[in-house]
Amino acid sequence: MATEALRAENPESIEALSREAESLKTRLAEEKAKLNDVDSCVIGQRLESLQNFNIKPRRTLKGHQGKVLCMDWSSDKRHIVSSSQDGKMLIWDAHTTNKEHAITMPTTWVMACSYGPSGSVVACGGLDNKCTLYPVNMDEDPATKKKAVATHTSYLSCCSFTSSDHQILTGSGDSTCALWDVESAQLIQSFHGHAGDVMSIDLSPTETGNIFVSGGCDKVAMVWDMRTGDCVQVFDGHESDINSVKFYPSGDAFATGSDDATCRLFDLRADREVNCYKKDSIIFGCNAVDFSMSGRILFGGYNDYTVNVWDALKGTRITILYCHDNRVSCLGVSPDGTSLCTGSWDYTLRAKPLLFLLTAIKLIQDFSVGHVIAYISKIEDRRKQLSGDD
């Protein structure tokens, strides 16, 4: 009503502003089009295809009595924290498959867990609407030292520490993200903009680390400035909920996994989607995504019990991993790039070696101008070196 009244009182001014807005939109589209010179998959055709790609689970982590919902690697590259529907959070030694800590939460459906950068603290939360921290470097029961540091008005869907143990970022079903001070348990900054539940967050791996990306049930991914609380970029294109977001190792792009059965790659500099990973035979949603250390490979965990392995540049599927008996709900590559861990609704986690990828591919990319410079090492020499063959 107010808009109609204003239009009636100042018809010429409103029309002039509308024309100016349309003109600005057109100019913005033209500027963005200058950067949209080519998709990464077109440039990627110049690269050699990845072949003889064989990943087999080496270790199975058994102990949960419910669906595994989330997992995260410790910075020591050895320990894993996982949370599940049974209300338990477990700390694993991925090398021995032993459980080092078992923490019972006050609620079921513990949907979020995260290791602190120091490796001495873990955070988790779920239907209790809270993010709770537990120290794990002591011999005593971590539950006796727990501390609630964040509270939302709906379930906690994701959490991630910043560059230190002193601040933690959370995402929630209340459509917001929030940055908290761990020591005081006070809110530092809140982030409003999503029109649906926030399902996933990831912090930029760049040195400044001042931005993060979030994805949610409103089908969009949003990039935020943690210093101001402002949304600086919005990316759309998905046709259903975004379940997972993950930054590319360089920090210049990020991947998303969605219920629309696709994964997509968005470039921050080009301000657009530069690749879409899909096949007609894939009809189930993607719950989790992560990159290999080089960024050449994208792993996606799907509802059809599989992990699809994509060539991030070519946009083609390299192989399929059949490693679970129910949907793959979470996955993550270890900080040193040597292992992939997957978690599933079949109550288990499985660790798979990725050693042969460490020096096989080294890439420098610039999606915005369409240049991809690749250096491909001698894979056979590396394999012989690792195996000790002459």
Q: Are 249 and 231 in contact (CB under 8 A)?
A: no
Query: Whole-model pTM?
Result: 0.84
Angle, helices 2-9 vs 11-35, to 10°: value is: 110
Q: Are 150 and 179 in contact (CB under 8 A)?
A: no
Written as one letter, the residue type at 125 is G
Q: Domains for the chain: give ranges and CATH numbers.
A: 59-372 (2.130.10.10)
202-217 b/e (C-beta count within 10 Å ≥ 16 → b): bbbeeeeeebbbbbbb
pLDDT at residue number 41: 66
Which of the pair, 60 or 46, is modelled with greater confidence?
60
pLDDT tens, residue by residue, 297-341 = 999 999 999 999 999 999 999 999 999 999 999 999 999 999 999
| Residue 274 pLDDT level (bands cut at 50, 70, 90) | very high
Q: Are 367 and 269 in contact (CB under 8 A)?
A: yes
Structure tokens at 272: 């657009």
pLDDT at residue number 58: 82
Q: Kindly tell me if the per-residue pLDDT of 376 is higher than 90.
A: no
Q: What is the mean pLDDT of residues 340-351?
A: 97
Q: Classify residue 181 by its DSSP letter.
A: E
Task: Tell me the average pLDDT of the chain.
Answer: 87
CA 282/CA 61 separation, integer angstroms: 28
